Structure 1
Amino acid sequence: MENILVIGIAGGSGSGKTTLTTRLAEQFPEEVTVIRHDDYYKHYEDLTLEERKLLNYDHPNAFDTELLIRHLMELKQGRPVECPVYDYAVYNRSGRTRTIQPRQVVIVEGILIFENRSLCDLMDIRVFVDTDADIRIIRRIQRDVVERGRSLESVIGQYINTVKPMHEQFVEPSKRNASIIVPEGGCNRVAMQMLLSQVRSHLRGED
């Protein structure tokens, strides 16, 4: 495939980047494919569940970003990839993969995708979703307790020990690599319309 548009959507945990990604993809179900950095958490087969729970999942070293880069390059060349599938319940890869097909627009989503320069260089548009910390922690608690089966104590402990300090050390500074900063993610109608317009122009061959 030629002239694939790659959009990176980053931001802190609970910022609304997944909502923005989902709403964009829903508008163009046949033309957009999504690849998520979270699925590229490293595989820890030699660690017990309790040991895996203690790992820092908000540090760049927690991700196999090199594999994501290779997969994104394959998609840009028009070739499908086998993406790992992460299982939040066991804090590890599931052992399964899912096939991601190359399409005219590829959205890459994750908290740290702008931290890596080589990954950034593969993106045509880099969107950073900027949301107040209080809102982000509330959303994270709701998501992890309800959707991922975590205890409230574990979510708060992880936020204090790793999420907040890693956000300040890595995620927030990566904002300088963004081409667009969007307050409130998918709830920002003006930003959403701008991105939709960019995608439509690309699909019409106007960029």
Structure 2
Amino acid sequence: MTDARVTPVVIGIAGGSGSGKTTVVRRLTASLGDAHVSVLEHDRYYRDRSDLRLEERAALNYDHPDSLETDLLVEHVRALRARQAVEAPQYDFARHNRLEASDVIAPRAAIIVEGILIFADKALRELMDVKVFVDADDDTRFIRRLQRDIAERGRTVQSVIDQYLGTVKPMHLEFVEPSKRYADIIVPQGGHNDVAIEMLLTLARGLVARG
């Protein structure tokens, strides 16, 4: 499982905002073991827009593929597959800006790539051994996003609603939902489908064990 000669297994976890992706990632990490898993979240890679004022940054469309530096994520996944550590960017969601600091991500037996738009990029998809789409109904996803953005990102109720109606929902319909066709596995009911998740965990353990 830790043989440096073995190419890591890359598992993509996609799905709409609030679908339960983080829950699935946590279940996978716990099942495989922290020492054997590297996680790269796509939303670390929002472009640096420090050239704009806070109010201008807040008005940007963060749910369009162009808002993310996906080329850098592709570069990092390739490096991890080659057993090279990477410096993943950090992002401040309250101020809508990339930080100067970065996190060193070490190569491990399994690389989990997570994000709403990871299946929308062909180069990124082609690096994945398993592509999982976490599905949930729109109401559930909106409520989860509302709770998260208020509790963790310092947003107001109205700002979350405005962003959801203005960009999140339209971009979900244009980019996220269509990307589901690329998935190898679809997990209905978000992160609470124990049967589907257990099947995924069994598959992931087998892939990592085979190396």
Instruction: Tell me whether the two structures share a fold, i.e. TM-score over 0.5.
Output: yes
Moved over 2 A (4+): none
Taking structure 2 as the reference length, what is the TM-score of the superposition?
0.95
Q: By how many angstroms is 1:137 displaced?
A: 0.4
Q: Please give the alpha-carbon distance, in whole angstroms, between the structure 1 residues aligned to 2:35 and 2:177.
A: 33
Quote the sequence identity (%).
Answer: 54
Report if aligned partners of 2:133, 2:180 keep a CA contact under 8 Å in 1: yes
Q: Please give the alpha-carbon distance, in whole angstroms, between the structure 1 residues aligned to 2:91 and 2:30.
A: 22
Q: By how many angstroms is 1:69 displaced?
A: 0.2
Q: Please give the alpha-carbon distance, in whole angstroms, between the structure 2 residues aligned to 1:80 and 1:24.
A: 21
Post-superposition CA distance 1:107-164 (Å, at most 9, x none)? 0000000000110000000000110000000000000011111000100000000000
Post-superposition CA distance 1:78-118 (Å, at most 9, x none)? 00000000110110111110000100000000000000011
Give SS of 2:108's match: coil
Q: Please give the alpha-carbon distance, in whole angstroms, between the structure 1 residues aligned to 2:203 and 2:178.
A: 26
Give SS of 1:140's match: helix
Which of the residues 14, 20, 29 maps onto 1:10? 14
Instruction: Show the counterpart of 2:110.
Output: 105
Give SS of 1:95's match: strand
Which of the residues 59, 75, 84 maps onto 1:79? 84
Instruction: Show the counterpart of 1:51.
Output: 56
Report if aligned partners of 2:24, 2:191 keep a CA contact under 8 Å in 1: yes
Give the 5 Å matches for 1:146-157.
Answer: 146-157=151-162
Instruction: Show the counterpart of 1:135.
Output: 140
Q: By how many angstroms is 1:168 displaced?
A: 0.3
- Name the amino acid aligned to 2:9: L
Report if aligned partners of 2:9, 2:208 keep a CA contact under 8 Å in 1: no
Which of the residues 17, 26, 30 maps onto 1:26? 30
Report if aligned partners of 2:47, 2:68 keep a CA contact under 8 Å in 1: yes
Instruction: Show the counterpart of 1:180.
Output: 185
Report if aligned partners of 2:187, 2:197 keep a CA contact under 8 Å in 1: no
Q: Please give the alpha-carbon distance, in whole angstroms, between the structure 2 residues aligned to 1:69 and 1:39.
A: 13
Post-superposition CA distance 1:30-65 (Å, at most 9, x none)? 111100000000000100000000000000000000
Pairwise CA RMSD = 1.0
Which range moves more in the overlay, 60-69 or 14-23?
14-23
Show structure 1 runs of 5+ residues with no match: none
Taking structure 1 as the reference length, what is the TM-score of the superposition?
0.97
Q: By how many angstroms is 1:188 displaced?
A: 1.0
Aligned residues: 206
Show structure 2 runs of 5+ residues with no match: none
